[in-house]
């Protein structure tokens, strides 16, 4: 069978795909359940669990609140109840579910089955619940330990719910855990996040208490994480070596119609895709993940799902589960789910918009402006604090969203640029700008939207528009960190954002205490805080078009860093002045941050190496043979035309063009060689070469291969094209 026939057969197969039916959850009587009736059925909640006695529940709450340590006796009681619940659900194994520095999740399954003498029993001990010991030697460590230093520990995170994962032939109890070294250093994403949350709660609670809010006992970072992704048919995917190896297309010519008409955005969801989404939602609801929205995104083949807000730790864990669910369910529907930030050139990439706010234990959102934001002095102070945090720690925030894949997205199409700035909206910015001039703010009366159609419901105009071009935008009562990439483990940018705000909050608390001791009232102090931080940080505030070249020039004149590549960002972040606050706040230890730096730089270089090797292989083994075959056909045709004595100028022109492109393509591919054998160079130098030279060569390869694809007849092109990947489903 020829390769050409293979592609055509695959297309025919995809055209015949049918939507996969998923049986909806039903009760014992066969009646369909409402979502609220099965939501969280695969989640074990420690709080308010009826299987615990009142005294045990009280102890558990004390542990969760941090006023009591978890002892073996209480852990044994919890383990017994968890085991009973898991067995009733049909689970046969358990695992410690953790998030190593790979950016993904890891798990090792152990059976509940054990032998008591000769008698088989199911058991989950207190020790098994609380602690595990996976081999840590093969996980990324950034050179923080030798290969023979293999011991690592997983320890139960009581604040993240235990859950059950289902597969075709069984169920597994998953215990969310942190992953630490023999010496207690973090080897994961979760541990620093938990530290930042504790520190943030302490600093923000002190802030509120100093302002007279004595009932505030804790403050939580609340997060809602929008997840964008692409779907391609599984058959097409496995015929594209670049998608399998790197998650993005390394050759490909864009279709004439792609996203220019915006007809895919919020359009009718294709039936097969909707069936997939509905099954994903069923599985997510069982896991207690409150998936709220689903829709088509801008690019063809691109979609989005978003949950309801939850605390930062749970939100980060849930996002990892959501990504795993999207991937596993996609396979059932003969799709592959792509999280790469830029799987297709010249159309929109995918982000993971991180919506972030702060709420106290009474549910009060510290970023809620209210109906009169100009008189909400605590709100204005908090906004100014966040602006100062972003201005002060722009480098660490840029490094936190850095990856080889996100570099392709930042600054392109809908994605914000690599310059970290803050969008506040017209109203909030106008109020804060008055602090710079000392003038009084006169609020405009909120107006009704005039549609000109009496049949439509009337509604009030918001006090600000949205700015899709901003990497960090205020959106009503929260900040949206839009620059986070779709493939990222959101725990790292969350940790860095939390730490940036903590740094300014702690300094603010000292300022408040000093002013109150000197006799100032709270209102006056809040105004002074707002002015202090907004005067310091107003250069980072930008409400205009972040995509424009004018902004790049203006940002430079304001002194804002423009770290175009992840390598630039990591190297800058590695300078002590840009990460010292993370040590001072206890969010990271020096060895941990050194490991993280090395791991991320090594990952960048390894992924670039894989991309270039894959691209060169595809050119040599797939693209060139297609072009050679067409050259041969043209040569035979020209020979026949010559013998017939008829014109062959057009054919000869095409042949010469194909030959010229092939010659240039061969020359550029030869230049890729030095980037594939650089083991003797430092990681920093390798990274800089990949980012500044290797990628430019790779882009030239893509351009030349695209030119060939546009010339070679479609029937002779042996790999799925952008048309196949983006439009056939």
Contact 383, 428 (CB under 8 A): yes
The average pLDDT across 158-166 equals 95
Q: What is the pLDDT of residue 458?
A: 58
Cβ-contact 495, 354 below 8 angstroms: no
Read off φ and ψ for residue 104, nearest 5 degrees.
-110, -155
Mean model confidence pLDDT for the chain: 92
Instruction: Tell me if 278 sits within 8 A of 22, measured CB to CB.
Output: yes
In this structure, the strands spanning 472-474 and 422-423 are parallel
DSSP bridge partners of 296: 303
Q: What spatial distance separates the first Cα and last Cα of the chain, rounded to whole Å?
A: 24
Q: Are 250 and 303 in contact (CB under 8 A)?
A: no
CA dist., res. 522 & res. 526, Å (int): 6
What tokens does 646 get? Answer: 């008829």
In the sheet that holds 310-311, the strands lie side by side as 310-311, 219-225, 354-360, 479-481, 472-474, 422-423
What would the pLDDT profile of 114-128 be if each residue is shown by its tens digit?
Answer: 999 999 999 999 999
**Model confidence at 467, in pLDDT bands (50, 70, 90)?**
low
> 621 or 134: which carries more pLDDT confidence?
621
Contact status, residue 190 vs residue 179, Cβ threshold 8 Å: yes
Half-sphere exposure of 232 (CA within 13 A, CB side): 27
Tell me the H-state helices in 355-490: 377-392, 394-400, 406-409, 426-437
Tell me the pairing of strands 170-181 and 91-97. Answer: parallel
Domains, the chain, with CATH or none: 39-188 (3.10.20.70), 189-226+351-445+459-586 (no CATH)
**Mean pLDDT confidence for 31-56:** 93
Tokens representing residue 265 in the block: 């955005």
Residues 6+ apart with CB under 8 A from 270: 729
Mean per-residue pLDDT, 59-77: 90
Point out which residues pair with 419 in neighbouring strands: 562
pLDDT at residue 173 is higher than 70:
yes
CB 202 within 8 A of CB 209: no
Cα distances (Å, whole numbers) of residue 536 to 331, 499, 561, 572, 573: 51, 19, 16, 22, 21
* SS3 of residue 433 by DSSP: helix
Instruction: Summarize the confidence of residues 546-564 as an average pLDDT.
Output: 92
Closest CA to 344 of 722, 638, 16, 22: 722
Cα 436 from Cα 439, distance rounded (Å): 8
The stretch 456-475 carries a mean pLDDT of 70
pLDDT of residue 687: 94
679 CB contacts (<8 Å, ≥6 apart)? none
Cα 668 to Cα 662: distance, rounded to the nearest angstrom: 10
Separation of alpha carbons 430 and 435, rounded Å: 9
Q: 665 pLDDT band (50/70/90 cuts)?
A: very high
Residue 549 pLDDT grade (very low, low, confident, very high; cuts 50, 70, 90): confident
pLDDT in the model for residue 136: 61
Cβ–Cβ under 8 Å, residues 112 and 93: yes
User: Which of 469, 471, 336, 355 is closest to 413 using CA atoms?
Assistant: 469
Query: How many angstroms separate the Cα of 396 from the Cα of each of 343, 569, 659?
Result: 26, 8, 48
Decide if pLDDT at 443 tops 80. no
Structure confidence at residue 658 (pLDDT): 97
Backbone phi and psi for residue 630, each to the nearest 5 degrees, phi listed first: -70, -40
Enter the pTM of the model. Answer: 0.94
CB-based contact 231:12 (threshold 8 Å)? no
Task: Write down the residue that tokens 């790197």 correspond to.
Answer: 246
Residue 115's H or E segment, with its range, is strand 113-116
Closest Cα partner for 64 from 156, 154, 178?
A: 156
Per-residue confidence at 148, pLDDT binned at 50, 70, 90?
very low
């Amino acid at each position: 069978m020829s390769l050409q026939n293979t592609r055509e057969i695959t297309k025919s197969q995809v055209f015949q795909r049918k939507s996969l039916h998923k049986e909806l959850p039903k009760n014992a009587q066969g009646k369909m359940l409402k979502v609220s009736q099965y939501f969280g059925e695969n989640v074990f909640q420690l709080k308010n669990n009826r299987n615990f006695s009142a005294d045990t529940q009280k102890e558990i709450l004390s542990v969760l609140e941090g006023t009591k340590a978890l002892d073996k006796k209480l852990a044994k009681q919890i383990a017994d109840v968890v085991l009973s619940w898991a067995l009733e659900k049909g689970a046969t194994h358990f695992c410690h579910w953790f998030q190593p520095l790979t950016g993904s999740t890891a798990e090792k399954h152990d059976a509940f089955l054990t032998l008591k003498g000769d008698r088989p029993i199911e058991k989950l001990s207190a020790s098994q619940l609380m602690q595990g010991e996976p081999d840590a030697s093969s996980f990324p460590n950034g050179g923080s330990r030798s290969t023979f230093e293999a011991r690592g520990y997983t320890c139960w995170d009581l604040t993240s719910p235990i859950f059950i994962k289902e597969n075709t032939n069984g169920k597994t109890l998953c215990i969310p855990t942190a992953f630490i070294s023999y010496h207690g250093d973090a080897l994961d994403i979760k541990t620093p996040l938990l530290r930042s949350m504790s520190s943030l709660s302490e600093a923000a609670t002190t802030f509120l208490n100093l302002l007279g809010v004595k009932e505030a006992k804790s403050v939580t970072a609340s997060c809602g994480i929008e997840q964008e992704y692409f779907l391609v048919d599984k058959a097409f995917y496995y015929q594209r070596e670049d998608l399998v190896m790197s998650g993005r297309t390394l050759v490909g010519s864009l279709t004439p119609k792609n996203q220019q008409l915006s007809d895919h955005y919020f359009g009718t969801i294709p039936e097969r895709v909707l069936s997939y989404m509905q099954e994903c939602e069923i599985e997510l609801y069982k896991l207690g993940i409150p998936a709220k929205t689903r829709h088509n995104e801008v690019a063809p083949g691109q979609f989005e799902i978003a949950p309801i807000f939850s605390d930062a730790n749970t939100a980060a864990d849930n996002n990892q589960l959501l990504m795993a669910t999207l991937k596993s369910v996609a396979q059932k529907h003969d799709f592959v789910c792509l999280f790469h930030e830029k799987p297709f050139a010249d159309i929109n990439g995918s982000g993971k918009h991180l919506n972030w706010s702060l709420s106290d234990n009474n549910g009060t959102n510290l970023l809620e402006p209210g109906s009169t934001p100009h008189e909400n002095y605590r709100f204005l102070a908090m906004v100014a604090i966040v602006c100062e945090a972003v201005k002060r720690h722009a480098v660490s925030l840029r490094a936190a969203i850095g990856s080889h894949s996100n570099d392709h997205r930042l600054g392109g199409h809908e994605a914000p640029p690599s310059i970290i700035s803050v969008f506040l909206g017209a109203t909030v910015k106008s109020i804060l700008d008055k602090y710079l001039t000392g003038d009084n703010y006169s609020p405009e009366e909120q107006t009704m939207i005039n549609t000109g159609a009496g049949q439509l419901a009337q509604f009030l105009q918001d006090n600000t528009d949205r700015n899709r071009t901003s990497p960090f935008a205020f959106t009503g009562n929260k900040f949206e960190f839009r620059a986070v990439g779709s493939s990222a483990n959101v725990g790292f940018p969350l940790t860095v954002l939390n730490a940036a705000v903590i740094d300014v909050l702690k300094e603010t608390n000292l300022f408040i205490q000093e002013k109150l001791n000197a006799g100032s009232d709270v209102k006056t102090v809040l105004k002074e805080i707002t002015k202090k931080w907004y005067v310091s940080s107003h250069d980072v505030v930008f409400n205009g078009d972040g995509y424009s070249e004018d902004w790049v020039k203006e940002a430079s004149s304001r002194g804002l860093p423009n770290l175009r590549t992840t390598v630039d960002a990591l190297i800058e972040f590695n300078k002590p002045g840009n990460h010292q606050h993370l040590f001072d706040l206890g969010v990271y230890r020096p060895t941990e941050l050194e490991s993280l730096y090395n791991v991320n730089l090594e990952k960048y270089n390894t992924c670039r190496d894989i991309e270039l090797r894959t691209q060169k292989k595809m050119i040599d083994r797939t693209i060139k043979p297609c072009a050679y075959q067409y050259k041969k056909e043209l040569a035979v045709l020209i020979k026949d035309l010559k013998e017939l004595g008829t014109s062959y100028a057009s054919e000869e022109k095409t042949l010469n063009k194909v030959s010229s492109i092939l010659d240039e393509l061969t020359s550029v591919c030869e230049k890729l060689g030095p980037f594939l054998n650089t083991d003797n160079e430092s990681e920093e130098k390798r990274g800089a070469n990949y980012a500044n030279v290797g990628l430019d060569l790779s882009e030239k390869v893509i351009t030349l291969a695209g030119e060939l694809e546009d010339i070679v007849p479609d029937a002779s092109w042996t790999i799925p094209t952008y048309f196949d990947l983006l439009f056939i489903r």
